[in-house]
Amino acid sequence: MSVELEMDMDAAVLTVGGGFDLDDGHKQIQERARALAAELDPVATEADASSGLYEPMRSALAASGLAAHVVPAAYGGHSETLDPLAITVIREALMYSSAHLDSLFGVQGIGSYTLTVGGTEELKQEWLPKVVSLQAIAAIALTEPEVGSDLRAVQTTIEQVAGGLRVRGRKSFITNGGAASFYCVLGREGDGYSMVLVPADAQGLTARAGDDLIAPHILGELEFDDVVVPASHRLGIPGKAFSLMLQALAVFRVSVAGSAVGLAQAALDEALKHAQNRTQFGAPLIELGPVAQSLALSWTEVETARSMAYRAAALARTDPLGHLDFSSMAKISATETAGRVVDRAVQVMGRFGLVRGSKIERLYRNARPLRIYEGSTEVLLDSLARRLQKVAK
């Protein structure tokens, strides 16, 4: 699709962008996700201001059937294996409208992925159909009060005891903490790392509300005080589950790129609409050279980030861990782009971009966390630099 950025251009043209390189199946998924986002757009501001679960969005997401894309068909999902490209396309569409809606969908996936790959058949049959219907809210518990990016430093312990597996420790900044029905928990076991599924109602598990963020988020702190779960709740191989956790990040990190592209597109559309309708110095803003160039640069960067996100997601369909570098690149590209684009959008809109409660203000706040969670830009660049040195040898 090729269009020129002219004064009389229909703003909707930019909104439609991104259909290239998608087959008919993915285009249909994209349209379904866009329809849901449009349906919920009137309540997006209220939902995004909530630090708890916004029930109207959970109900609408459940009714849409989109959560079937984060669970295999054997347990009520859409296809035999998860499709990172479908998940990325969905998150792009949902984030265009609401960060709360995007997070609700995305964490159903990453929160249940280690169960999907490493859980027993009995455990998967118990929980995964409920993930699809959103009867169960999923969460993955990795970070701790003193541990963020360096997950090998986790202090939570998992120990085999007579009654099953005992979990001791604390987790912090856990998305869906306090709202989740179960947690897939990473901890040390002997000299290695293991994962277990802990139901939210397990004896000894205490969940508290987490810190308030600049962009409200369902966030909680978890304390595991001698929590004992059945041995069948183990996820993956004892002491060897770190790779399982990395696989989950590999599948879903690229979907964060999709979210960032959706947010950047929304900011660009807001700024373009303003520039077309706002008159200064006797002409629409879009006719002022610096404004038009700023919007054109933003459009270029959004399309570039979208292309990278789709490519990385397509690669992750066959070998997530093998293509983790590309998922990291896509995440860096898209989240940094979102930050630049929304900042330019505020600048184009001037004082109107500073109004508290406006869509552009909400987008500005929602853009900032994207560069930190699921691998900060600096941590990912450091990892890529090390990989580059190995490749160069």
HEC sequence for 209-243 = ECCCCCCCCCEEEEEEEEEEECHHHEECCCCECHH
Grouping H, G, I as helix, E, B as strand and the rest as coil, residue 338 is helix
Which segment of 3-12, 120-129, 217-226 scores lowest on mean pLDDT?
A: 3-12
Is pLDDT at 9 greater than 70 in this prediction? no
Q: Are 149 and 112 in contact (CB under 8 A)?
A: no
Q: Give the contacts of 224 (CB within 8 A, at least 6 positions apart).
A: 156, 167, 168, 169, 170, 171, 185, 198, 204, 205
Predicted pLDDT at 3: 34
Identify the residue with better confidence: 16 or 45.
45
Is pLDDT at 333 greater than 50 in this prediction? yes
Q: Are 18 and 306 in contact (CB under 8 A)?
A: yes
Is pLDDT at 232 greater than 80 in this prediction? yes
Is pLDDT at 360 greater than 70 in this prediction? yes
Predicted pLDDT at 16: 37
Ordered DSSP codes for 164-184 = EEEEEEEEEEEETTTT-SEEE
> CA 89 to CA 95: how far, in whole Å?
10
Residue 197 β-bridge partners:
184
Q: What is the pLDDT of residues 66-94, one digit of tens each?
A: 999 999 999 999 989 899 999 999 999 99
pLDDT average, residue stretch 367-391: 90
Ordered DSSP codes for 117-146 = HHS-HHHHHHHHHHHHHTSS-EEEE--BTT
Predicted pLDDT at 285: 83
Question: In this structure, how many other beta carbons lie within 10 angstroms of the beta carbon of residue 84?
Answer: 27
Predicted pLDDT at 283: 78
Is pLDDT at 199 greater than 90 in this prediction? yes
Could you tell me the domains of the chain? 15-135 (1.10.540.10), 139-239 (2.40.110.10), 243-388 (1.20.140.10)
Mean pLDDT of the chain: 90
Which segment of 15-24, 44-53, 303-312, 335-344 scores lowest on mean pLDDT?
A: 15-24
Predicted pLDDT at 8: 38
**If pLDDT is split at 50, 70 and 90, which confidence band does 7 have?**
very low
Q: What is the pLDDT of residues 142-193, one digit of tens each?
A: 998 888 778 888 999 999 999 899 999 999 999 999 999 999 999 999 999 9
Look at the block and give the residue holding tokens 């966030």.
219
Helix runs in the chain, H state only: 12-16, 24-40, 44-48, 55-64, 84-97, 99-118, 121-133, 242-277, 289-316, 324-349, 359-367, 377-392
Predicted pLDDT at 18: 43
Predicted pLDDT at 393: 67
**If pLDDT is split at 50, 70 and 90, which confidence band does 319 have?**
confident
Q: What is the rounded end-to-end Cα distance, in angstroms, of the chain?
A: 40
- Give the closest residue to 291 by CA, choosing from 268, 316, 260: 268
